[in-house]
Chains A and B, each alone.
Chain A
Amino acid sequence: MLAIDQLRQPGAATHEAIEAFLRDHEFPIVEGRQVTFVFRGEASNVFLQHWIRALPQQQAFQRLPGTDLWFLTLQVPRNSRIEYKLGIEQGSAFGMHGHGQRVQLVRDALNPHQALDPFGANSVVHSEGYQVPDWTLPDPDARCGEVREHRLASRAFGDVRKVQVYLPARYRPSRRYGLLVVHDGEDFLRFAALQTVLDNLIHRLEIPPVVCALTTSPNRMVEYPNNEQHARFIVEDLLPVMEEQYSLVEDPGARGLVGSSFGAIASLSTAWRYPGVFGRLCLMSGSFLFTDIGDHEGGPAFDPVVEFMNAFRKAPGVPSRQLFLSCGVYEPMIYYNRSMVPLFQSTGMRVRFVEARDGHNWENWRDRLREGLSWLFPGPLWMVYE
């Protein structure tokens, strides 16, 4: 019997019992594979808004008869991480989103766990088995790196770009470092704990100390999908400046491009346009939309993506030597990512593909950083005992 079922017994849902129920549980309630979401308040309808591919994205709650308590129980596979909001409708009780209704999407007030993204925050539920990886949390033993801010005059774009640079703890010019160029670097810092992750992975010797150039685009939807200017900016503007100002290994095997979603397209298309410059690619939830016949369903923003991916599929070349690819099984891009794996492998690149029970979001990308970076840039874990 689930916890909510006790309240569903005849006469059980008294005011005191509901108060006790809310006081005695953490929400959502995870019981094995069953996850029960709860909302308390006046509404005409309540629903769960999520972004899981293949499930109706709005799942209706039930009202506990005679009360203001609403609930929904879903079966969720182990090790899942799901972001959601609650849809609260006020007004007509007939149907969803009908005339005269007010619908508010809100975070789950009973759930303290939130995931931040550039659009705000979502509530997040962890199913049985999922744990926030300890290497994503600040470790007092780990020496902290430093993030500096630069302004870079871009000949490719004809403007000045902000670039943040992560330097590992104890960076010293007499040593040479690998370079990671991270698309949407500021978002990786804010929403994927990139600085903490790098500090921890370096401290744990799982990756070597690396320098990261964290780029930010003022118009990523235009600049990321196979944009010649963007590729030129990365290779001809950014890379020479980084190599001039920092002590870097000037070898493709020590250079990587990192990106998620459209940032993955930007990374892949840059490597494709300049093969052999970046020997390592880390592409997370790549928006690899392509068509075999007819039109696509991605909307106008995806037109250049589809054009690029179709061209890439015809003539992939060898954009890099080693490619880490990851995607959430709950996101729409899973089909495209899975489809691309054999094609990537056919180019001769070493490819590693990882799936996670997660969606198209920053914490999914945060959680994949360890396996991605440590595979692309293995650290001296086996050899160093300080």
Chain B
Amino acid sequence: MQTSRSIVLLGPQRHQPIVREALAPLTEHSAPVAAITAGWEEREAEDLELGAHLSRPVENLQLFRRAEEVFQRDPELLRAVRAHHDDLRELQRFYRMRLRHSMPAASELLGTEGDGRLLDPEREAAFASLRALDEHHLGRVIELQQAFSAKWGLRDREHVARNREELGALLRGVGALCIAGGHVGVLFNRLWMFDVLALLPEQTPVVAWSAGAMALCERIVLFHDDPPEGQGGAELLGPGLGVCRGIVPLPHARQRLKLQDALRVQMLSRRCPDALCVALEAGDRVTWDGTAWHASASVQRLCVDGSLAALGGAA
């Protein structure tokens, strides 16, 4: 079920920040906001620029630091988390092995010419197979996460629970929650560990950008068309927090994807035909108002025919 709170997803904020603008219609001008910058890892506390841009009180929730402290005080949990992450990495490696062989087949079929009557079903079957592989991987990751939570009672562990109490108190007093980008895996893990969104009052809006936007969605899609190593493309990291549904945010899309190459665009969009694959560049804004997605004029989505189209009004 889609959330009823307002959510704004933004593109990268380094050069052209618009968080303040995005917050304006959502909260009182002087209301304090909470910030999560855990994706910046050890630079988490370096949020002066963000504070200056927002021109209002900012409470950094310091999820990265909190997690480090929890691990220090709960070495059993640390060992369990490390083992869990080793499993996830291994699973990702196996998934990549399968992708390495499945993606070229789909790509070659897209690039070849032939009688559509014969070719189109082959193409569709190749993508169905890719989608099935993605679903399989997603299912395996969820299985591991659920098993981990059940075994270790993550949220009930003393130090996690104490931090959750503190976080809950902080979140009750803010007008909005801002989630910055950075390392999407680190960010997601911290958000998941403390289950922060469950602590946020139901109507408090959320503004998230880049990796922050990715972490809020149903699944976290990693992507790059021109890495220095390997064939590039997209791969699933696993489930996101699932707050935003039906959307796959692609921050820095122009830099990371070959958007002029219809074949490459299709390679991504046909993997997620039921979702809006949205290029999020600096200055872009996509808003969930509780009932539908709205986008600023510049926002483009990747279509299954390989073209780009304005996302525009209600999407």
Residues of A within 8 A of B (CB): 141, 170, 172, 174-175, 206, 370-371, 374-375, 378, 380-386
Contact = CB atoms under 8 A, between A and B. Distances in A.
A140 to B, nearest CB: 10
B290 interface: no
B268 to A, nearest CB: 14
Given A206-B227, A385-B181, 13 more contacts: A174-B42, A175-B42, A370-B228, A375-B229, A378-B229, A381-B224, A383-B183, A384-B211, A385-B182, A385-B211, A386-B12, A386-B181, A386-B211
A137 to B, nearest CB: 16
Interface string B214-228: 100000001010011
Chain B: interface secondary structure? mixed
Give the interface residue-count category, chain B.
20 to 34
A282 to B, nearest CB: 14
22 contacts: A172-B42, A172-B43, A174-B42, A175-B42, A371-B228, A380-B183, A381-B224, A382-B227, A382-B235, A383-B184, A383-B185, A384-B39, A384-B181, A384-B182, A384-B183, A384-B211, A385-B182, A385-B211, A385-B214, A385-B251, A386-B182, A386-B211
Contacts of A386: 12, 14, 39, 181-182, 210-211
B252 interface: yes
A385 B240 CA distance: 15
A72 B87 CA distance: 63
A385 B252 contact: yes
Contacts of A172: 42-43
Contacts of B235: 382
Contact of B228 (A206, A383, A384): A206
Nearest to B251: A385
Interface in B235-261: 235, 251-252
B15 interface: yes
B211 A375 contact: no
A206 B184 CA distance: 16
A385 B214 CA distance: 9
Give the most central of B14, B15, B183: most A CB within 10 Å: B183
Contacts of B229: 374-375, 378
A148 B235 CA distance: 40
A311 B12 CA distance: 54
Give the most central of A141, A175, A384: most B CB within 10 Å: A384
A374 B228 contact: yes
Contacts of A174: 42
Nearest to B227: A381
Nearest to B255: A204
Contacts of A170: 43
B269 to A, nearest CB: 19
Given A175-B42, A371-B228, A385 B210 contact: yes
Nearest to B210: A385
B46 to A, nearest CB: 9
Contacts of A371: 228
A33 to B, nearest CB: 26
Contacts of A380: 183
A172 B222 CA distance: 28
Nearest to A373: B228
Interface in B176-232: 181-186, 210-211, 214, 222, 224, 227-229
B271 to A, nearest CB: 16
A374 to B, nearest CB: 4
The 10 closest A-B pairs by CB, nearest first: A374-B228, A385-B211, A385-B210, A382-B222, A385-B251, A386-B181, A206-B228, A385-B181, A384-B183, A383-B185
A217 B228 CA distance: 32
A379 to B, nearest CB: 8
Give the most central of B183, B227, B228: most A CB within 10 Å: B228
